[in-house]
Copies of this chain bind each other. A is one copy, B any other.
Amino acid sequence: MAKMTPRTLSGFMELLPAPQQQMERIMETLRHTYSLYGFTPLDTPVIESSEVLLAKAGGETEKQIYRFQKGDSDLSLRFDLTVPLAKYVALHYNDLTFPFRRYQIGKVYRGERAQRGRFREFYQADIDIIGDGKLSIINEAEIPAIIYKTFSTLGLKRFQIRVNNRKILNGFYAMLGLTEKSADVMRTVDKLDKIGPEKVKALLVEEFAVSESDADEILKFISITGDNNAVLSALEGYLGRNEIFDQGLEELKTVVRYLGDFGVPAENFAVDLTIARGLDYYTGTVYETTLLDHPEIGSVCSGGRYDNLAEFYTDRQLPGAGISIGLTRLFYVLGEQGMLNPELPTSPADVLILPMTEDLSAAISLATKLRESGIRTQLHCEQKKFKQKVSYADKLSIPYVIFLGEDEINAGIVACKEMKTGEQTKLNVEETIARIQAGLAELEKGAVILE
């Protein structure tokens, strides 16, 4: 028969079993952490009606959409988890209780130009808190805690949650009478790291007709750095000149004030006035998270406060705050950087049983007992040579192999070999289970990401 050469589409991540296990661990950590903060899991369709999904979209986004006709229906694959959330909240408004806290980890689709490390199908892991009419600033203050808990649980220490408030930026530009130009100005200021202050100034003056003195003010403003208190003090100097600014500073102070109570160490947090987040969507606190030793990766967790989640679907004012982790890209980058802990078990099983008798009753009963004790167990009953069976355990990094022959069965004991050390014990079933459980607990001790 003629064969079709199997292939996976480029831009679509398909992992081998060992890295997939690491990915699963990360997802499990996210689910667990998000749950601790009172977020409920949500799952929405991958396909939506195009007119619903694209009510807002336009330009670049629309070009990337996977959009197609099925029968009479114009359908699209979701390109993020925010628009489906907006639809969900507007549609199910009467059945929800607000503030509504949800997390969603799901695949989204963007037909971007294929290139290394860019994916067309990728997981986003989002949390959002949606208020009905109003939403307390405390929710914005809590988000750094969730980011901290998530990344520290994953094993990272050297990361920084950078926080700003759009009201401070908007208020500041209003002071200078630059509100109209603020989007252009912020986009230019964003290039600071790349092109330096002088070129930024030149661009502001030449391209956007900002006065020399205003450009100097802007550069002075965004060069406010230091520890949180130093930055807040410097910002106090601008108080009383613009209401929005004052409000933003008050909010930022609240966020900073409760960091310690929320369990966020000072070294993992920084007020950073250069953070704006491209989207004009955000209206209050904004977040970016960077790995200190890998600034080239960019932000691994971003988000912020917005005033109107579902304005395309409902007249209700639904303000919210949320963050998103681009999980597939993060996983890819961690792999590239060799940051995935190779010591953590990635085997499909904890124990491989090699029956050495014709009758398999004893081996199967033992497997059943191990499984009842929560130990992931495989029986190897294929017609292979002994050496091949041991090599199977080796290749899959199965930590324990049990040999069960006539002698062991008659003596009521189990010969169990720890593959890493070669150490073999001959103990009864209960003792063997206890030994394996202790060993597995030891193996599970590390975190999934190494720095």
Contacts and interface: CB of A to CB of B under 8 A. Distances in A.
A83 to B, nearest CB: 10
A20 B4 contact: no
B313 A382 contact: no
Among A99, A372, A377, A383, find the residue whose CB has the most chain B CB atoms closer than 10 A.
A99
A45 B3 contact: no
Given A314-B3, A364-B258, A382 B91 contact: no
A15 B136 CA distance: 27
A381 B136 contact: yes
A55 interface: yes
A42 to B, nearest CB: 6
Interface string A371-384: 11011111101110
A229 to B, nearest CB: 17
Contacts of A312: 1, 3-4
Given A9-B47, A45-B9, A360-B261, A66 B70 contact: yes
Nearest to A56: B4
A14 interface: yes
Given A261-B361, A262-B368, A36 B131 contact: no
A95 interface: yes
Among A15, A38, A92, A348, max chain B CB count under 10 A is at: A38
A42 B55 contact: no
B51 A138 contact: no
A362 to B, nearest CB: 8
A39 B347 CA distance: 9
10 contacts: A9-B73, A17-B40, A24-B41, A35-B376, A36-B371, A38-B377, A66-B70, A68-B69, A134-B382, A262-B368
